[in-house]
Amino acid sequence: MTDHPLEWDAMNHGTPPAKDAAAQAAWDRSVAAHHALAARPGVTLQASEEIVIVLHPGFDTLDAIGPHYFLSSLLGATIHLATTGPVDEPVTSAGGLPLTPTTTLEDAPEAPTVLLVPGGDTAVLLRDSRAIASIRRLGAAAETVASVCTGAVALGAAGLLDGRRATSHWSVRHLLAGYGATAVDERVVTDGSLMTAAGVTAGMDLAIRLVARLRGDDYARFLELGAEYAPEPPFDAGTPDRAGAELTSLARDFYATVEYGLRAG
Amino acid sequence: MTDHPLEWDAMNHGTPPAKDAAAQAAWDRSVAAHHALAARPGVTLQASEEIVIVLHPGFDTLDAIGPHYFLSSLLGATIHLATTGPVDEPVTSAGGLPLTPTTTLEDAPEAPTVLLVPGGDTAVLLRDSRAIASIRRLGAAAETVASVCTGAVALGAAGLLDGRRATSHWSVRHLLAGYGATAVDERVVTDGSLMTAAGVTAGMDLAIRLVARLRGDDYARFLELGAEYAPEPPFDAGTPDRAGAELTSLARDFYATVEYGLRAG
């Protein structure tokens, strides 16, 4: 649950609802728990990170929203949805979901705490030289540069993977070597200020690690519990090894046009 | 990856890109893989489900988008984002993300294939008697009624849990008994036409099971592999058992106002 009824300011200066004794008791318990979480070693409950998530045409919704969910839970952090296009136009995901940007890549904070590039129809992004230049500029100034799925290929095109260890979706990970990276078969790869995630759902694992980096391990543990993040993949088929050679080969063929687009980008 | 460059119609009637031999080869491989997936036992590659996802003020983004990601991958399915408010107003999630609805609950398909209610600030939804009446009506006609996280409490308020086995977020699951349900500590609970998921991230496990029900196990396996859904929760703290008593108690207190709101709703 992301519900955070009590912003830190409200806790310290606001007035409780006090509709009745039970409401007051619930409020008091929540306030005390906020303070208890803040007091745990290494935890920063309130801060003011500037987090930039890039919205590009055909981005994969879950690549962006998985991390967004966890990062938007951070009290005081600001999340900017930075479009590669005009700010007054929604950006439509690969799955057909339009998201409204809050800024453009050009107008995004110049030295963000985090720059995160989701994947999806990343070939379109690769052909947008202005967007790639903005990602290069923001990435050079960001404290942490992150990608999910094929978003790593855009980081590569922006020159941000050269000499670094990185990962991407299993079907295109081999392309990272073309950008000077060492491709690593791990779910989340951290190399200094660079954090790259494998395909789609790995963005959530990345985000929780990022929360730990920004706000402390116990804040991250708390969010894992709040999100009930103890997945039980119904078919245990989430990696090539687990899915087996036949289904993997089928999927690789299914995505052949994606891989072609990234190679040709 | 949700990328599906080839809609079924395009595969059978459209023209390939044929920019060059490599593009043509990628296209041919992908077309063949689409046919191979469609030919697997039990798989329906193309259909026309009407899937209604309820957007209510303060919904949890990931409760809605986790399932949306997988369901929007289904070739031919239509996803309706049905707002409890006016259709021309975005609905803002608990994490501050505005989503644009495609319809209202009143105008949504009367007998949807799936009705899915996400959680979040569900107390607001409970107080919206018109929305609850619409959920009751749509739920009675839907082939499958589904919820994620505290969304189950809204199903309960709509009378859709009476006599059924169901689950919800661990911190409020006990409230389901008040609606005549048997609360079950499982990640996804299927009871006939009713599928309920535990907290937030369990919506993805539910969605993959739903894909299997709608389109066959092998389609679901394929999407698990495409989404690289083999999570590695960094802190193994996603359930009360795993997080331990102290952190669980803190989280329960942190969410005290949420539970109060649902009880008072």
Residue-level pLDDT, tens digit, chain B, 265 residues: 655 545 554 555 445 566 789 999 999 999 999 999 999 999 999 999 999 999 999 999 999 999 999 999 999 999 999 999 999 999 999 999 999 999 999 999 999 999 999 999 999 999 999 999 999 999 999 999 999 999 999 999 999 999 999 999 999 999 999 999 999 999 999 999 999 999 999 999 999 999 999 999 999 999 999 999 999 999 999 999 999 999 999 999 999 999 999 997 6
d(CA A169, CA B6): 20
What does DSSP say about strands A165-166 and A182-183: parallel, antiparallel, or unpaired?
Answer: parallel
Burial environment of residue A246 by CB neighbours within 10 A (0 to 12, 13 to 18, 19 or more): exposed
CB B104 within 8 A of CB B83: yes
Question: Of B179, B203, B178, nearest to B189 (Cα)?
Answer: B203
Scan for tokens 């952190």, then name that residue.
B247
Eight-class DSSP state of A205: H
d(CA B121, CA B124): 6
Please answer yes or no on whether A227 and B1 come within 8 Å at the CB atom: no
d(CA B46, CA A168): 29
CB proximity list for A129: less than 8 A, separation 6 or greater: none
Mark out the alpha helices in chain B (DSSP H runs).
Answer: 8-13, 21-38, 61-71, 122-126, 129-141, 151-157, 202-215, 217-226, 240-243, 245-254, 256-264
Residue A6 annotated in active site: no
Question: Of A63, A265, A262, A72, nearest to A175 (Cα)?
Answer: A262
Query: In Å, how far is A20's CA from the nearest CA of chain B?
Result: 11
| Inter-residue long-range contacts of B160-165, CB under 8 Å, 24+ positions, other chains counted | B160/B135, B160/B136, B160/B194, B161/B194, B164/B191, B164/B192, B164/B194, B165/B189, B165/B191
Output the CA–CA distances (angstroms, integers) from residue A193 to A71, A76, B65, B259, in the order listed: 17, 22, 28, 39
Interface residue A147 vs chain B (CB under 8 A): no
Chain B neighbours among A 85-144 (CB < 8 Å)? 90, 93-100, 119-121
Give me B161's structure tokens: 């849990």
Please answer yes or no on whether A250 and B37 come within 8 Å at the CB atom: yes
Please answer yes or no on whether B229 and A240 come within 8 Å at the CB atom: no
- What per-residue confidence (pLDDT) applies to A88? 96
Neighbours of B245 (CB within 10 A): 9
- What per-residue confidence (pLDDT) applies to A264? 74
- Three-state SS at A128: coil
Give me B27's structure tokens: 């296209």
- The half-sphere exposure of B130 on its side-chain side, counting CA atoms within 13 A, is 9
Eight-class DSSP state of A98: E
Interface residue B41 vs chain A (CB under 8 A): no
CB A54 within 8 A of CB A135: yes
Sorted by where each begins, the domain ranges of chain B are 50-224
Interface residue A60 vs chain B (CB under 8 A): yes
Q: Check A54, A71, A148, A149 and give the catalytic one.
A: A149
What does DSSP say about strands A91-92 and A98-99: parallel, antiparallel, or unpaired?
Answer: antiparallel
User: Which of B5, B60, B68 lies closest to A95 in CB terms?
Assistant: B68
- What per-residue confidence (pLDDT) applies to B13? 45
Give me the amino acid identity at A36.
Answer: A
Instruction: Provide Rg for chain A, Cα atoms.
Output: 20
Q: Best interface-test mutation with A: which of B65, B172, B228, B232 has the largest number of A CBs within 10 A?
A: B228
Eight-class DSSP state of B175: G
Please answer yes or no on whether B26 and A256 come within 8 Å at the CB atom: yes
Topology (CATH level 3) of domain B50-224: Rossmann fold (3.40.50)
User: Which of B1, B26, B100 lies closest to A90 in CB terms?
Assistant: B100
Burial environment of residue B158 by CB neighbours within 10 A (0 to 12, 13 to 18, 19 or more): buried
d(CA B158, CA B140): 10
Contacts of B23 in chain A (CB under 8 A): 257, 260, 264
Contacts of B263 in chain A (CB under 8 A): 22
Q: Kindly report the CA angle at A47 between A43 and A49, in degrees rounded to 5?
A: 120
CB A189 within 8 A of CB A161: no
Eight-class DSSP state of A200: T
How many contacts, defined by CB atoms under 8 Å, are there between A and B?
333
d(CA A224, CA B117): 22
CB B205 within 8 A of CB A231: yes
Give me B79's structure tokens: 């996803």
Query: Which three-class secondary structure string do you get for B123-174?
Result: HHHHCCHHHHHHHHHHHHHCCEEEECCCHHHHHHHCCCCCCCEECCCCCCHH
Question: Of A26, A32, A71, nearest to B250 (Cα)?
Answer: A32
Output the CA–CA distances (angstroms, integers) from residue B155 to A98, B99, B107, B118, B211, in the order listed: 27, 22, 19, 10, 21
d(CA A18, CA A28): 10
Give me A120's structure tokens: 């999806």
Please answer yes or no on whether A243 and B258 come within 8 Å at the CB atom: no
Give me the amino acid identity at B194.
Answer: L
Interface residue A196 vs chain B (CB under 8 A): no
Q: Best interface-test mutation with B: which of A15, A30, A63, A69 has the largest number of B CBs within 10 A?
A: A69
Q: Which residue of chain B has the CA closest to A18?
A: B257
pTM of structure: 0.95
Question: Of B14, B143, A197, A154, nearest to B5 (Cα)?
Answer: B14
* pLDDT (tens place) for every residue of chain A, 265 residues total: 655 545 554 555 445 566 789 999 999 999 999 999 999 999 999 999 999 999 999 999 999 999 999 999 999 999 999 999 999 999 999 999 999 999 999 999 999 999 999 999 999 999 999 999 999 999 999 999 999 999 999 999 999 999 999 999 999 999 999 999 999 999 999 999 999 999 999 999 999 999 999 999 999 999 999 999 999 999 999 999 999 999 999 999 999 999 999 997 6
Contacts of B259 in chain A (CB under 8 A): 26
Q: Check B123, B132, B149, B200 and give the catalytic one.
A: B149
Q: Best interface-test mutation with B: which of A224, A258, A259 has the largest number of B CBs within 10 A?
A: A224
- What per-residue confidence (pLDDT) applies to A103? 98
- What per-residue confidence (pLDDT) applies to A7? 55
Query: In Å, how far is B35's CA from the nearest CA of chain A?
Result: 10
Interface residue A50 vs chain B (CB under 8 A): no
What does DSSP say about strands B182-183 and A98-99: parallel, antiparallel, or unpaired?
Answer: unpaired
Query: In Å, how far is B161's CA from the nearest CA of chain A?
Result: 21
Question: Of A157, A92, A97, A89, nearest to A123 (Cα)?
Answer: A157
Neighbours of A18 (CB within 10 A): 9
- What per-residue confidence (pLDDT) applies to B20? 86
User: Which of B3, B201, B253 lies closest to A258 in CB terms?
Assistant: B3
Q: Best interface-test mutation with A: which of B88, B121, B221, B259 has the largest number of A CBs within 10 A?
A: B221
Give me A176's structure tokens: 């990272």
